[in-house]
Structure 1
């Protein structure tokens, strides 16, 4: 289980890097971004950026090096399978300037998993791990991912990625959790924009977002407030609630 956050815990940031032509073409619909983002919110990690890149070594290397320098963690999904276009492991090794070869630990895992004669050359590609990386265990299909520096490289198949992410989350430090409150408003956001902006100025340390929706055929809005300071969050939420109540009363 991830380390619990305390009031004094730092802010921990991360990016998600999705690798694969099939995502960019629309052939495969990504299910990992939302899962990782929600998981990270719950354990106290702020996802600050998401990038999707094709199966092109130069694109992967550039994205990895940019993101790992900017954030505490990079969560990468896709491109570590047995086929020729699974180039993530080699690209990660190039990004970090290290070698790559069949890792004895990964070979042992795959040897135990596959029946005699089934561990062919293609499957052995999944045992190629960059030098110095730690393995991320895979309870679903056994072929491991790996962590190199602050980059955590996982499979793209959602069920496998989720199992790997459990392994990663259990080992990395987390930060102070972001808290949120939602105030439903039975009117369009255009009618409350000015007043909401004034409240935002009063509570600059609280993120206040306005999200329009349709409710029973009419415009409505969800006001979402986010902060790590529960006291300030509650104060801002009460200010929004009071503003909404006053406007509803004024409009009869």
Structure 2
């Protein structure tokens, strides 16, 4: 019997932000899950739900299909009704949120009602609450976390690498697993308890193919491939209108590796050869390996020479000063993005167990682009940098920096050969005598515009979105425009701009800037 429901591929393919070509697998040994996210703050938009994404991703890797996600408020009857329905419908039910000590946390009470149960103090949890909050009566808010459904049980997780036992157990009742709502707590607990959800009878094999074509142009190809393989393989198509490297991500899923390989071969042979992109979706995770892969390669071109030299300078800088006394200059521009990634890679290799955030200095100009501000925030969070921001002239802000952080002996700042008239600069140069005394470290002095983009694009490093809209050099909003050398008229007759990395004449990099 066909394991996949058949629906006409032509009817199924729609040009939307998210759609899937193909039907989900329905097998007798299917292991399903439903997720209930509980919290008024989620429904009001006061808190972003990241828990369901985390849980879905991990359950899929365990062979469990998430069938439904429900987001509900802290209402007793709603919780009871939803838990009861989910418990009857799915193999596993996972709830997150609503188990704190305050009056509006009603998850335990709602789940008890779903199973016609009552709350009572759990001895294990009572002792933990006493240890954490101190002695208290059972009717104290401090003991609310210990009041769980009478028929509930507790289960401890163990760290998969260290084997260390979790201090706090997970509360379960029937097929319902009650997780906290705080993402850090949920993720830590879930990873130690993954064995509870593992489906031993099923493995999923997946592969992703990234395409630099829009969905409309490859729709017929996707329909044909899906018609040929939809008995054994699910083909999903996911457009991304903001990615700098691809336009559509194609995801193939199967229960057997051979079926997956066959479908991937059909798809790659059917797609135009020049549209498949070698894309690294985790460039930060692979930063050390990728950067040092260039350093240790056999290439002897000018680009690899510059990468090796920059890494050597940063290694020498870290040897001299250590991490605590370094501050990386970062303003969201392409050159600074290269520097930040290089610094992160070298620091990670030399100090792999360093837990503190790296330090960066952001000199904020007037009328800064919101896209630049957003990119700085994203880079800060992904690379774990502490960004100190100043809205002064460089000389003034360095004076203030020296007062606020007297231990900063070095400011690693970015200066490239095509952006400065300071030909006297060397890899290590002190600031001028009338300036606050900082050592300026300049790893990219010899890098060209072409090398900056080669580094960013070859390593799939995220950069400010303005560069994809024709900006080649970023200043403030009142003096910066797209580069006229990148202008073109698109198929609709609209004036558009090619992305910055396509600029041929490097000497025209600053065209579009009034200063």
Residue equivalent to 1:81 = 100
Cα root mean square deviation, aligned: 2.8
SS at match of 2:47: coil
Whole-Å separation in 1 of the counterparts to 2:245 and 2:195:
45
SS at match of 2:79: helix
CA contact (8 A) 1:147 1:153 kept: yes
Whole-Å separation in 2 of the counterparts to 1:179 and 1:40:
13
Correspondence 1:194 to 2:213: no
Whole-Å separation in 2 of the counterparts to 1:144 and 1:16:
19
Correspondence 1:12 to 2:37: no
Greater Rg, structure 1 or structure 2? Answer: 2
Q: 2:185 aligns with which of 160, 173, 186?
A: 160
CA contact (8 A) 2:33 2:68 kept: yes
Correspondence 1:174 to 2:199: yes
SS at match of 2:252: strand
TM-score normalised by length of structure 1: 0.85
Bigger Cα displacement from structure 2, 26-35 vs 9-18: 9-18
CA contact (8 A) 1:140 1:163 kept: no
Call closer, same or farther: CA 1:119–1:99 in 2, change over 3 Å: closer
Bigger Cα displacement from structure 2, 161-170 vs 80-89: 161-170
Give the total of aligned pairs: 241
Whole-Å separation in 1 of the counterparts to 2:177 and 2:58:
15
Correspondence 1:50 to 2:69: yes
Correspondence 1:60 to 2:79: yes
Q: 1:100 aligns with which of 119, 136, 142?
A: 119
Q: 2:271 aligns with which of 232, 238, 244?
A: 244
Structure 2, unmatched stretches of 5+, are 1-27, 158-163, 276-515
Whole-Å separation in 1 of the counterparts to 2:263 and 2:174:
39
- Residue 96 (structure 1) shift: 0.9
SS at match of 1:60: helix
- Residue 23 (structure 1) shift: 0.5
Residue equivalent to 1:183 = 209
Residue equivalent to 2:259 = 232
TM-score normalised by length of structure 2: 0.43
Bigger Cα displacement from structure 2, 184-193 vs 234-243: 184-193
- Cα deviation 1:217-246 (Å, max 9, x = unaligned): 797322111111111111111111011037
- Residue 111 (structure 1) shift: 2.2
Whole-Å separation in 1 of the counterparts to 2:138 and 2:187:
25
Structure 1, unmatched stretches of 5+, are 1-8
- Cα deviation 1:100-151 (Å, max 9, x = unaligned): 1111221122223334469981010110111121114489996654111111
- Residue 28 (structure 1) shift: 0.9
Residue equivalent to 2:130 = 111
Whole-Å separation in 1 of the counterparts to 2:105 and 2:167:
17
